[in-house]
Amino acid sequence: MEHPFWLWWIPLLPLLGSLLCGILHYLSLRARRSDPAAAGLAQLAGLVGVAAVGLSLCLVLRAFLVLRGLPAEERLLESPAWDWIRVGGLEVALSLLMDPLASTMTLVVCGVGFLIHVYSTGYMKGDPGYAKFFAFLNLFVFAMLMLVLSSNLLGLFIGWEGVGLCSYLLIGFWYQKGWPAEAGQKAFVMNRIGDACFLVGSFLLVRLFGTLDLSDIGAMVQGLFAGPRDHRLELALAALLLFGGCCGKSAQIPLFTWLPDAMAGPTPVSALIHAATMVTAGVYLVVRLNPLFAASPSVLALISTAGALTALIGASTALVQRDIKKVLAYSTVSQLGYMFLGLGAGAFGAAIFHLVTHAFFKGLLFLAAGSVIHGMHDEQDMHRMGGLRQHMPRTYVTFLAGAAALSGLPLMSGYFSKDEILAHTFASGGYYQLLWVVGIGAAAMTAFYTWRMVALTFLGPERFDHHHVHPHESPANMTVPLVILALLSVGGGLLGLAPVVGELIHLPHLMAAWLAPVVEPGERVLALAHGPQAQVGHGLEWVLLGLGAVIALFFAQRGLRAYLRGTQPDQRLAQARPALFGFLSEAWRIDSGYQSGVVLPTRLLAFVTAVVVDQFAIDGLVNGCASLARAVGQRTRRMADGDLRNYALWIGAGAVLLSFLWMWR
Amino acid sequence: MNLPSEHLLYLAAGLFALGVLGFVVRRNVIVVLMSIELMLNAANLTFLAGSRLHSTPGSPDVTGPVFAVFVIVIAAVEAAVGLALIIALYRLKHTVASDSLSEMKG
């Protein structure tokens, strides 16, 4: 194994960039106070931010090339370890680990991140917090890279919390408006619930294995499986708790409600953090610890169930949203659900494949939506768009590419990744086939809402006010990233062609081959736990692929046709079935359920505690002591009447009393 | 000398009661000081009576007389301080009545 120190530069460069941007922000604030024209300093921050991530991307590419040059089973780079904590039997070394999984993730983070940084230089132009934005964005990239590259759970947790912090900062970036700040808090608090689970899960792992090193844990789980079958319950509990952390970070049931609200942040943030990278951290964690999760079949089933339900809820909610970013947010929730559905079925490689293609096409869709919002002067309501095809041709074409990939039209990237997950789920048999039906249903809805979005935004009559809104195409630094992402969304499927299709053009499943060393231990444990995995036969695979294609095409066409002439289908549904419409548009009322089931009781408890316990009992006790002392003082001050003889009398009486007490003792 | 020791104690109690009475009823601070002397001497008498009770022929108990000597010394000092205070009080108030001293009234 090699020990290249330069791995540290991958996360450190964005950190340096973040510091520099922060300094630039400070300087520009000071300059602005004395000289209003001195905004040039802040403009420099865009360059710094882009350069930091760009250099990181170069290093990541170098690491990828080095890894590719090694034989498959030796693909592991570890930076020199720094002994960080050594307490009793627990040793934590802070070191970075680059293996095929980490390399895939870093390529996505830095690659998509770089494009989004470039895009942001256009999108955030003129914003008073321009430099601050890049400082936060670079800090996020640093935290995300730490999360992905850390060789142990503690370092991963640092990154995990770091991305949460940056998410909070960036959701509330326009905190002056009020509601973004609240959305940021909501995201932070919901994530805290998951993080608590994560922490307890890590404690449990320390207790079980005495180490936090990710590869050691994987090896020890395999060792446990080879030996006598004890510790099964603790393993399952640890996996469950870690999955709880994933639920928070990756917006799964029951903690997904923060993600739609997170759309309050600037659109590049939604693209980078809440679609492409941070929300996939949970998927990464499960794949990273795949032997641990594979060791607990019941937890796997639970993960799949949560994933399938999340996919269904997200997709059905996206059907009736009016806000273009909300559609994409619920779509992200539902696509993350697919990834967890795949993870639960043991398709770790397929989940990462979907993660990658999703980063391409959802990042693209968010950026394109941002371009629309930018061109429409901050309008997000699709009911007040329409006909933008003529005004924003480049955005339109790239959006089409993203939509095709998201809805899983044949041969697009999303088609292969989603169908691989669904095929694995189907092949797992039994209960999983029920989940497969749910997944297919959600896929149909996905195709429908995606093309509804396309029709409402870009086609049909123009419904905006021509006097106030003059839609225009975005500048080149916004459209070029769109074009690159569009190419990736269309061609990303080549990374992981379904075997039957791959055989036709002699291209193997690149992703599966690349990730094989990482997911292989988990698959071995799975095979030990419930026998060899069922393989999808050729005929069945063709049927599943064909079914996916037919469903996607059919429902995409339905969605496009229905909304081509305007927004009437929405209004008809809202009038004919107001209950259903409300139920769907409020995400199955889960948020309001939390409001009445958790938030209100907590508030009530807080009120009771404040009024009854604090103000009445505790304050009463304190004030009571004071009034008692005062009352006694009022009564006894009469004794001190200034007459020496009375004092003497009291002293005498006291002396007599004391002597009597002493005598009768 | 076959005066019983109890009689000494009765006398001491009487003197002490007289002192207390004088202390409580008289307003003149000089008389109050004298009453204190009276009480101290009652205490001395009690010490001596106790010493007599505890003595056996051939081994006299000296604790009582020693204490009495200490008390006499303290009484002398106390009288000196007390008289000085009374003079200071007279200079301040032109009276030595104790009820003129009520500045500390609560």
List, for residues A58-69, the tens digit of each pLDDT value: 999 999 999 999
Q: What's the average model confidence in pLDDT over A300-323?
A: 94
pLDDT at A181: 93
∠ at Cα A358 (A356, A364), nearest 5°? 110
pLDDT greater than 80 at residue A80? no
Q: Which domains does chain B have, with CATH numbers?
A: 5-95 (1.10.287.3510)
End-to-end CA distance of chain A: 86
Instruction: Specify which of A92-101, A300-309, A559-568 reaches the highest per-range mean pLDDT.
Output: A300-309
pLDDT greater than 80 at residue A227? no
Q: Which of A640, A645, A648 sits opposite B106 (nearest CB)?
A: A640
CB distance from A634 to chain B under 8 Å? no
Query: CB A642 to CB B25 under 8 A?
Result: no
Q: Which of A637, A639, A642 sits opposite B103 (nearest CB)?
A: A642
pLDDT greater than 90 at residue A57? yes
- A82-87 vs A90-94, strand pairing mode: antiparallel
pLDDT at A1: 54
Is residue B85 a contact partner of residue B98, using CB atoms and an 8 Å limit? no
pLDDT greater than 70 at residue A334? yes
Mean pLDDT of chain A: 90
Query: CB A642 to CB B32 under 8 A?
Result: no
pLDDT at A508: 85
Whether this model's pTM surpasses 0.90: no
| Confidence category of residue B106, pLDDT binned at 50, 70, 90 | low
pLDDT at A606: 95
Distance of residue A653 Cα from the nearest chain B Cα, in angstroms? 11
Q: What's the average model confidence in pLDDT over B68-95?
A: 93
List, for residues A83-139, the tens digit of each pLDDT value: 888 887 788 888 899 999 999 999 999 999 999 999 999 998 888 888 999 999 999
pLDDT at A332: 95
List, for residues A434-490, the tens digit of each pLDDT value: 999 999 999 999 999 999 999 999 998 888 888 888 888 888 889 999 999 999 999
Distance of residue B101 Cα from the nearest chain A Cα, in angstroms? 7
Query: CB A637 to CB B106 under 8 A?
Result: yes
Identify the weakest region by mean pLDDT among A52-66, A516-530, B17-31.
A516-530
Identify the weakest region by mean pLDDT among A346-355, A570-579, B43-52.
A570-579
| Confidence category of residue A533, pLDDT binned at 50, 70, 90 | low
Task: Using alpha carbons, select from A337, A169, A360 the residue that is nearest to residue A275.
Answer: A360
CB distance from A653 to chain B under 8 Å? no
CB distance from A651 to chain B under 8 Å? no
Q: How many CB pairs under 8 A join A and B?
A: 33
Q: What's the average model confidence in pLDDT over A27-35?
A: 78
Residue A178 to residues A170, A171, A230, A239: CA-CA distances in angstroms?
14, 11, 53, 38
pLDDT at A498: 83
CB distance from A88 to chain B under 8 Å? no
Q: CA A182, CA A222: separation in Å to the nearest integer? A: 44
Q: What's the average model confidence in pLDDT over A25-29?
A: 87
Neighbours of A310 (CB within 10 A): 28
CB distance from A637 to chain B under 8 Å? yes
Distance of residue A636 Cα from the nearest chain B Cα, in angstroms? 9
| Contacts with A580 (C-beta within 8 Å, 6 or more apart), sequence order | A573
Q: Which of B24, B32, B103 sits opposite A649 (nearest CB)?
A: B24
Q: Which of B25, B32, B104 sits opposite A642 (nearest CB)?
A: B104
Query: CB B98 to CB A645 under 8 A?
Result: yes
pLDDT greater than 90 at residue A364? yes
Query: CB B106 to CB A638 under 8 A?
Result: yes
CB distance from A655 to chain B under 8 Å? no
For A650, the closest chain B residue by CA position comes to B24
Amino acid of residue A377? H
pLDDT at A534: 65
For A640, the closest chain B residue by CA position comes to B106
Task: Using alpha carbons, select from A277, A269, A255 the residue that is nearest to residue A189.
Answer: A255
For A323, list phi and psi in degrees, rounded to 5. -75, 125
Task: Tell me chain A's radius of gyration from C-alpha atoms.
Answer: 30
Alpha-helical segments (H) within A465-609? 476-491, 499-505, 510-530, 538-563, 568-576, 578-585, 590-594, 600-608
List, for residues A146-200, the tens digit of each pLDDT value: 999 999 899 999 999 999 999 999 999 999 988 999 999 999 999 999 999 999 9
| Confidence category of residue A610, pLDDT binned at 50, 70, 90 | very high
Is residue A194 a contact partner of residue A258, using CB atoms and an 8 Å limit? no
Neighbours of B61 (CB within 10 A): 14
